[in-house]
Structures are given as C-alpha cells and as structure tokens.
Amino acid sequence: MSVLNVSRLKVSYPSRDGVFDVVRGLSFELDEADSLGIAGESGSGKSQTALAIMGLLPDNARVSGSIRLDGQELLGESEQDLDRLRGKSLAMVFQDPLSALNPYMTVGRQIGEVLELHQGMSAKEAARRSCELLQMTGIDEPGRRSKAYPHQFSGGQRQRILIAMALACGPRLLIADEPTTALDVTVQKKILELLRSLCQEIGTALILISHDLAVLSGMCRNLMIMYAGMEMERGLSEQVLLQATHPYTAALLRTLEDLHGGAGPLSVIPGEPPDMRNPPGGCPFHPRCTEVMPHCSEVIPRPRPVKRIAGAQSQWVACHLEPEQ
Ligand code: SF4
C-alpha cells in the first residue's frame, strides 16, 4: 500500500524577473517500509521536494500538485495540522545535527518532549522511552547520557540522537537529507545502516537524499535521478545502476566509476547545471548531453515506463531516445 503519493508537484518562487520553478511536475509513490534514494547535482530540486513534503518551504514558495500521506492531502493543510503530523507521522533528519538540536536542553528531555506531545506520555514514561530509544540507536549508558547536552556528544552521536528523535513516534515516512555529509567517513556507513535497519524494523518508509549514487544504491530499494527540478530516471536501484538508460544517469555513473578506481583521467559531465531562473527549453539536459538530437531542445521528454521485470513496470525514463514499452 502506498504511504506517500506525490503527483505533479511543482514548487516556484517569485523573483524580480518573474516566477521561476525549482520542482517541475514531479510524480512518484512510496510503499510502507520501502525506500527511495533521490540523487542529482546541486539545484536539481531534491531538497525542495523534501521540504515541500514536510510543509517546511519558506513563505514565499508557491506549491501546486498533490502530496498525499496515507491518502490524506497535505497541500493546503493548516500549519496547526501539519505541526500535528510532523514528528508523529512525518519526520526528517537534517544534514547538521548540531543546529537541529536545542543546545540548552538535555537530549533526553528533547526526545521526551516529542513523546509527550505526540504520544500523550507522562514525563516519567517519556524519560524511560527516551533512554530506550537512545540505546536502540547505539548510545551507551543511555540513563546517564540522556541527561547530557548536545555539545557533550560527537557529531556521529548527535546524528544518532536526531534519528532517535525522528523515529520516536514510529512515523509513516522519514526523510533524511544528506544525513551524513557532515560526518567522518568511518561514521557515515554505521549511521546509514542504523537508519535503514530501524526504518525496516518500524515499517517506516524512507526517502534518502544524497549526491552520492553509491551510497543511495546501497541503502535504498528504489532510486530516482533528478535534474533541473525534474525526474530523469527512476526504478529499482539495482536496475538503474546496471542498466542506466538516461544519458544523465550514465554520465553520473561514469564519474562515480572513475572516482572509485578508474585507470584513466576522471570523467566530468561537461557544462554546468542550469540556472533555474532561465532553464534551457525542451530537455533540460540537452546542452550537456552527448546523445542530443534536434528536437531535444524543443520538446520536454516526460517520464515514460520502459523495461519490465516479470511483468512489473520497474523503470521510468524521461528521454526522447527511449520508446515506451
Ligand atoms: Fe539527451 Fe535528448 Fe535524451 Fe535529453 S532527451 S537526455 S538531450 S537524448
């Protein structure tokens, strides 16, 4: 059953030169306990999509389309109703754990507040459950450590605390936006594994955002590649990696292969990501695409189903090279 259903999502901002779109007609679904990795270069619309789902976009953002959580439409909900959902059914883990935690409150109290607010627990029950959650996320001596302040923990431990807080109420959906970018590489893998295993245990659907395709493919069952606010390719991670169909996905993978042991010079994708105030017409990737055809600069390719596994539609690609199957 679908936990999250995003349909024709569009996010725009007004500017002196008119309104410009940063997310352009995005549609996807996510099932219970399933996982989706969203990859793309800076400015591809990954984080704007996450913030739109959480209802955390700035006041001047204009959002249209539909975002449904367990069938409930989130767009147009009051701030009060969204506050009730955030922390309970919807949770997010941010890149910088220090700025996401209150420096003046013990970590046990911060987790406890979430439980009191959304689960109606007494202060005593919440304190006990906070210790259990800290232990679950690998914090030693949780009874003692729950009384410590955020600055008394390492970066990796702070991210574990944020994960404990995010999963405290067993949310239906957790979004983690570059959750390990600020951490040491040796800690990154452990934190991501923790995130994945806890989500699976609780049955929480996970959206993981990163520019690192290797990390995403190892963590998530499904993968979506975004460019210029649009979906370029989406499917089962294994299939997207092994049979990348979109020229942009293929170019991203070439840079990855070279970084991880290629013998020749490093591949780079020629050109720059587009300025979203004035994006190229037609396929947004056409100025950088090695396969570009004359009509690519005129007609926007829409995501189409291609390749099926045992009768199931498993891959969507937005490129004029791909005939629908
Ligand atoms: Fe390249 Fe054209 Fe496909 Fe865009 S639509 S990725 S420009 S071939």
Radius of gyration of the chain (CA): 21
Q: Identify the band that residue 254 occupies on the pLDDT scale cut at 50, 70 and 90.
A: confident
Q: Identify the band that residue 121 occupies on the pLDDT scale cut at 50, 70 and 90.
A: very high
Check pLDDT > 60 for residue 265. no
Ligand 1 neighbourhood includes 230 CB (under 6 angstroms): no
Distance CA 288, CA 265 (A): 19
Work out the average pLDDT over 117-146: 93
Separation of 292 CA from ligand 1 center, angstroms? 5
Check pLDDT > 90 for residue 292. yes
259: part of which helix (H) or strand (E)?
helix 247-259
pLDDT at 307: 66
Q: Could you tell me whether strands 72-73 and 230-236 are parallel, antiparallel, or unpaired per DSSP bridges?
A: unpaired
Q: Could you tell me whether strands 205-209 and 35-39 are parallel, antiparallel, or unpaired per DSSP bridges?
A: parallel
Sorted by sequence, the CB contacts under 8 Å of residue 34 that are 6+ apart come out as 3, 205, 206, 221, 222
Work out the average pLDDT over 176-190: 82
pLDDT at 246: 94
**Number of neighbours of residue 305 by Cβ within 10 angstroms:** 15
pLDDT at 179: 86
Check pLDDT > 70 for residue 187. yes
Ligand 1, atom nearest to 320 Cα? 5
Check pLDDT > 70 for residue 325. no
Are the C-beta atoms of 88 and 115 separated by less than 8 Å? no
Q: Identify the band that residue 319 occupies on the pLDDT scale cut at 50, 70 and 90.
A: very high
Q: Could you tell which of 233, 248, 296 is best to mutate to test the pocket of ligand 1, judged by most ligand atoms within 8 Å of the CB? A: 296
170, 160, 125, 140: which is closest to 32 by C-alpha? 170
Residue positions counted in the chain: 325
pLDDT at 215: 85
Ligand 1 neighbourhood includes 291 CB (under 6 angstroms): yes
CA-CA-CA-CA torsion sign (46, 293, 265, 245): positive
Residue of minimum CA distance from atom 3 in ligand 1: 319
Tokens representing 127 are: 């304190």
302, 320, 269: which is closest to 42 by C-alpha? 269
Are the C-beta atoms of 145 and 134 separated by less than 8 Å? yes
What pLDDT digit, counting tens, does each position of 210-220 carry?
A: 888 888 988 99
Lowest mean pLDDT among 13-22, 35-44, 61-70, 253-262: 253-262
CATH number given to 2-317: 3.40.50.300
Q: Could you tell which of 319, 322, 324 is best to mutate to test the pocket of ligand 1, judged by most ligand atoms within 8 Å of the CB? A: 319
Q: Could you tell me whether strands 205-209 and 173-177 are parallel, antiparallel, or unpaired per DSSP bridges?
A: parallel
